[in-house]
Structure 1
Amino acid sequence: MRKNDIFFYLSRFFIVILISITFITIISFVILKPKPIAKENDIKPNKFDMKPNNVIFNNDKKNIKIKIYISAKKMVEEMDLEEYIKGVISAEMPAEFHIEALKAQAVAARTYAIAHMESEGGQRCSNVSEADLCNTTHCQVFMHKDERMKEWPESKRAEYWNKIEEAVKDTKYEVITYNGKMIKEPYYFAVSSGKTENVQEVFSESVPYLKSVESPGEENAQKYKTSVSYSYSSLTNIINSYYAKSISSPSALKSSIKIKSRTEAGGVKEIQLGKTTISGTKFRSMLGLNSTNFSITFNKNSVEIVCKGYGHGVGMSQWGANAMAKNNKNYKEILGHYYQETKVEKYN
């Protein structure tokens, strides 16, 4: 064998050995590759984190917290937005109402809440600077679950709270939008007189989705029609305490009071008190009347004021929403009726 042949065969032998070693190394790495030690931040959570009597969905879009001023405690409480909405529904709307009416209330209340949350770019409660909202009628009435359930019949507590939880769950993160943006004034009230008010005639502001609409089926509602009586002297004194010397004497009361104009829905727009003319809204506030849709009757010994409806009359009527729900309208249809040309969409 020649010398060149020996080198040729030796080189081929070493090449085969190197290829075999490389192949074995790769196979061993793939099969026996050790798993790295996971760092705490590298561990991905499961879809659900299980805790006693609680399931947390980690795929929620947001975990929104809201700050509420609890007037009785004189302190601010931070809570989950959806839990807050449950407390608003339970305080603002009768739990025996139809589930679709409760859903409509949930969406309206959530929209109002987010519109006032500083963390979401909203404007906080004007009465309490350190909270997003207060728990009174100045913002939205809120009650904790235990507090609310004490006021319900014991036999109905579980049923009522389950309905409220269902209404919130089925509308989670949903808000009212107009032209693709969340609305800022989702006003609502208790009972209409058969028609809601145009916002311009009540609050002197122009909001395109708050127009006067029909709201039938509320005749059997609580406080649909109420009346209050005053003596001539007591009513004269009340008026003069706000507007000095507007009424010269009790005997001049009848000739001094005149309703000058009404809104499209029938509410008093302007009322004359002697030489002073004020809005129906101011007159209602002055006497603590249930609504601005009132009439005045001068009897021999008393003055009777009869009101239709309960509340400011703008936006969604709660009793009207319940009437619509009973007529097979769903919550989106209810909201679309009372807030004209709006949609219900998920909050981003």
Structure 2
Amino acid sequence: MKRSILPILLFCLLTFCLPLVSLLPQAAGQAASSVSLAAGSAGEQSTSASPVPESAAVSQAAQSTPPAETPAPAQAVIRVQNASTGEVLEVPVLEYMIGAVASEMPITWPDEALKAQGIAAHSYALYQRDHANTEALGGGWFSVDPARRQGYMTTEVLQSYWGEEYEANYQRLKTLLEPLVHTVLLYDGAPAAACYHAISNGRTEASQRVWNEALPYLQGVDSPLDKLAEGYQETVSYTTQQMYDILATQFAGLDLSGSADGWFGETSLTEAGYVDTVQVGGAFVKGTQLRAALSLRSSCFTIQRTEDGFDVTTLGYGHGVGLSQCGAQAMAAQGQSCAQILSWYFPGTTLEEYAG
């Protein structure tokens, strides 16, 4: 009985367990498959998060690399023709102002006079840019002669001129003028013809008396301190023959056949006291023309007959229009600012920041 029951129990046990055993590999496979997918998902996330997309890489590189410096705008230049060589020089504004001031005023003069000269030189240059026949000057706005220290001096000329004092003198002018490179003397919003001369005769001349162009801010102002300037009065002597040669060469149609006592006659003066016309050999000659012919310091002159020839006495130095440099020096020594100096010599103008 027992033997007959045992096979039956064994059969029942096998019948129950075999289906369960058949399920084990499938469950393990499903578990393994599930782990594999999780790892794959994590791997994909890691892979996708690891390399930075190209656009993002560029963005991060831009953030990690310092931005490139914005290039400074091209510095404005003054175009001048070298009268000795014909070469046109393009000079940065500050360098031009320094070279112009150095050629026009002693470095020992007061700060405010030097500043007034620098602004006047820059303003005049811009006026010439707008009005001059630049084609005739090869593209230059006006002519200078650095080698002769006329109008502007180059760095090389300054180094030779100042010698051991070059660095100190250059730095002084740079300190004074650098803050003023955009400050221009304007009339009706445009650069003014801020011309200048060394010494007036005590009053500056009207522009139309020299250049046949009447500018409202160049009609002459009193400059009495000029009379105290060194070199205010000078006398030059000519022999009779020297005077004859000059007059006959420079002016056609003069009658110089008679006595030299009668060569010079009636003289008329401008409102400022400069010679307007003078009768020479029966003809009337402009005072500015006779000044040029005789190489006089000023067109404010008198002619005196002497035993051996002629004495010509001048008052002032230069054409007499605009800023008197010695007047500016005297005003600055009295405590006047460059703005006050410029407003006196150029009435109706304004000092403004100018980017034109």
Shorter-chain TM band? 0.7 to 0.9
Query: What letter corresponds to residue 146 of structure 1 in structure 2?
Result: E
TM-score normalised to structure 1 length: 0.77
1:214 paired residue number: 222
SS of residue matched to 2:106: coil
Q: Report if aligned partners of 1:191, 1:310 keep a CA contact under 8 Å in 2.
A: yes
Query: What letter corresponds to residue 238 of structure 2 in structure 1?
Result: Y
Question: Which of the residues 341, 344, 348 maps onto 2:348?
Answer: 341
Aligned length, in residue pairs: 296
2:296 paired residue number: 289
Query: What letter corresponds to residue 124 of structure 2 in structure 1?
Result: Y
After superposition, the C-alpha distances for 1:276-310 in whole angstroms (9 at most, x for unaligned) are 10110001011110001101111122210000111
Note the C-alpha offset of 1:243: 2.6
Note the C-alpha offset of 1:338: 0.5
SS of residue matched to 1:67: strand
Query: What letter corresponds to residue 299 of structure 2 in structure 1?
Result: T
Distance across 2 between alignment mates of 1:198 and 1:131: 26
- Is 1:228 matched up with 2:236? yes
Q: Report if aligned partners of 2:103, 2:149 keep a CA contact under 8 Å in 1.
A: no
**Cα 1:256/1:203, change in 2 over 3 Å:** same
TM-score normalised to structure 2 length: 0.75
Question: Which of the residues 149, 163, 174 maps onto 2:159?
Answer: 149
Query: What letter corresponds to residue 214 of structure 1 in structure 2?
Result: D
SS of residue matched to 1:151: helix
Distance across 1 between alignment mates of 2:109 and 2:137: 32
Distance across 2 between alignment mates of 1:70 and 1:240: 32
Query: What letter corresponds to residue 173 of structure 1 in structure 2?
Result: H
Query: What letter corresponds to residue 304 of structure 1 in structure 2?
Result: D
Query: What letter corresponds to residue 38 of structure 1 in structure 2?
Result: A
Deviation >4 Å, runs of 4+: 71-74, 124-127, 137-140
Q: Report if aligned partners of 1:134, 1:140 keep a CA contact under 8 Å in 2.
A: no
Note the C-alpha offset of 1:142: 1.4
1:65 paired residue number: 77
Q: Report if aligned partners of 1:267, 1:292 keep a CA contact under 8 Å in 2.
A: yes
- Is 1:304 matched up with 2:311? yes
After superposition, the C-alpha distances for 1:203-223 in whole angstroms (9 at most, x for unaligned) are 222100002111122334343
Q: Report if aligned partners of 1:269, 1:281 keep a CA contact under 8 Å in 2.
A: yes
1:277 paired residue number: 284
Query: What letter corresponds to residue 83 of structure 1 in structure 2?
Result: E
Note the C-alpha offset of 1:36: 4.2
Distance across 2 between alignment mates of 1:273 and 1:126: 37
- Is 1:91 matched up with 2:103? yes
SS of residue matched to 2:272: coil
Distance across 2 between alignment mates of 1:331 and 1:308: 25
After superposition, the C-alpha distances for 1:116-160 in whole angstroms (9 at most, x for unaligned) are 33xxx5545465223333323999711122322322363x43442
Q: Report if aligned partners of 2:287, 2:299 keep a CA contact under 8 Å in 1.
A: yes
Superposition pairs of residues 1-348 of structure 1, within 5 angstroms: 35-38=59-62, 43=67, 45=69, 58=72, 63-117=75-129, 123=132, 125=134, 127-136=136-145, 141-152=151-162, 154=164, 156-183=165-192, 185-244=193-252, 246-249=254-257, 252-348=259-355
Distance across 1 between alignment mates of 2:245 and 2:132: 39
Note the C-alpha offset of 1:320: 0.7
Note the C-alpha offset of 1:248: 2.8
Q: Which is greater in Rg?
A: 2
Q: Which has the higher helix share?
A: 2
* Structure 1 vs Structure 2 CA RMSD: 2.7
Distance across 2 between alignment mates of 1:244 and 1:71: 28
Distance across 1 between alignment mates of 2:62 and 2:261: 86
Q: Report if aligned partners of 1:218, 1:319 keep a CA contact under 8 Å in 2.
A: yes
SS of residue matched to 2:259: helix
After superposition, the C-alpha distances for 1:225-246 in whole angstroms (9 at most, x for unaligned) are 1111111222122112223452
Query: What letter corresponds to residue 63 of structure 1 in structure 2?
Result: Q
**Structure 2 residue runs without a partner (length 5+):** 1-55
Query: What letter corresponds to residue 99 of structure 2 in structure 1?
Result: G
1:20 paired residue number: none
SS of residue matched to 2:225: coil
Q: Report if aligned partners of 1:133, 1:139 keep a CA contact under 8 Å in 2.
A: no
**Structure 1 residue runs without a partner (length 5+):** 1-32, 50-57
